Amino acid sequence: MLENMHMPLRAFVTWSAGINAAFRPVQAAVGLALGLAIFAASALAQGCHFDPNNPVCIPDDTPGLAGRPQPVHWAAIAIVGSSLSVGASHGRNSEAEA
Amino acid sequence: MVLNWGSDICFGLAVSRLDSTYAQAPAESRAKAPLAGCRAEKGKACIIQTTRCANDNVNWSSPLPLPMPPATPAAKIDPGVVGTWEYPINPGRWIWQIAANSTYEFHSEAADNAPSHSGVFSADGGRWSMTSTSGFQDVDGGQYNFPSSNAMVSTWKLGTGKWSRVSR
């Protein structure tokens, strides 16, 4: 055991990989799971989201299904000063429409 | 003359037709209507003409806020009428909110162009009456009864209708 502590890295990897060839599929599966977990964690950390059927993590400041901004509505009021007739609009999609 | 416009905001407009005075004000909510501004302009008969919020449904008239209670509230208001009621209009509905402090607000959520109004209200012993003080000028009244706990049948100038309770 003490000798192992001084074992060069290459020799250690060779030694550990050679323990039992039957464990190699298990090692591969564990490695894959770890990799996916690290990828998901980094995606969360950098602030991105996944759209349906799109494997790419889209930064949250990029418009997408999850990051779509709320619609903006406009209102306006107007009056005829001489008759006090009032005109107004609401729920319009643009400033010009209002 | 366009007085104001904006997004995600409410506007209120108060007028005093007696002396051709008006005032408008933007606000975060419909409740902050510019009656005080109209009176500051020496308006002697200021009423809220309209309150519009940018996110009001474009398909029907904007509601008005419940008015301030009258200086001398109705002597009695039947507690059974207090609440929010709806009347079916195909397609859509009318909404009638009656408050315990003798005020009401009416607006339409139907494509019938019925104008919004609000004002003072009384109901007692099977008879009701209302006088608008904001929006469309109207005086109405009639009889009412409760066929069930969540229904009210009322008569008014234009006929008879059955209202369903939305909330108390």
Contacts of A89 in chain B (CB under 8 A): 52
Type and span of the H or E element at A16: helix A9-17
Type and span of the H or E element at B49: strand B47-53
Mean pLDDT of A5-22: 59
Q: Where are the alpha helices (DSSP H) in B12-147?
A: 35-40
Q: According to the model, what pLDDT value does residue A3 have?
A: 47
Tens of pLDDT, residues B117-159: 999 999 999 999 999 999 999 999 999 999 998 999 999 998 9
Domain ranges in chain A are 2-59, 68-98
Domains and CATH numbers, chain B: 10-53 (no CATH), 79-167 (2.40.128.370)
Contacts of A88 in chain B (CB under 8 A): 11, 13, 50, 52, 62
Q: According to the model, what pLDDT value does residue A10 have?
A: 63
Residue type, A82: S
Tens of pLDDT, residues B34-81: 888 899 989 998 989 999 999 999 999 999 999 888 777 766 899 999
Does residue B134 sit at the A interface (CB-CB below 8 Å)? no
How many Cβ atoms from other residues are within 10 Å of residue B76's Cβ? Answer: 11
Q: According to the model, what pLDDT value does residue A46 have?
A: 56
The radius of gyration computed from the CA coordinates of chain B, to the nearest angstrom, equals 16
> Which candidate from B5, B50, B57 shows the least CB-CB separation from A98?
B5
**Is the confidence at residue A26, as pLDDT, over 70?**
no
pTM of the predicted model as reported, rounded to 2 decimal places: 0.68
Tens of pLDDT, residues B14-33: 999 889 999 998 888 888 87
Between CA B72 and CA A41 the distance in angstroms is: 65
Percentage, residues of chain B above pLDDT 90: 64
Contacts of A92 in chain B (CB under 8 A): 54, 58
Look over chain B and give the mean of its residue pLDDT values, rounded to a whole number. Answer: 91
**Is the confidence at residue B97, as pLDDT, over 90?**
yes
**Is the confidence at residue A2, as pLDDT, over 50?**
no
- Reading the block at residue B18, the tokens are 């007696």
**Is the confidence at residue A6, as pLDDT, over 50?**
yes
Tens of pLDDT, residues A47-69: 666 676 666 676 666 555 555 66
Closest residue in A to B18 (Cα) is A84
* CA of A52 vs chain B CAs: smallest distance (Å): 29
Q: Give chain A's end-to-end CA distance (angstroms, integer).
A: 80
Contacts of A82 in chain B (CB under 8 A): 20
Tens of pLDDT, residues A74-95: 999 999 988 888 889 899 888 8
Would the CB atoms of A88 and B53 count as touching at under 8 Å? no
State the ipTM, two decimals: 0.77
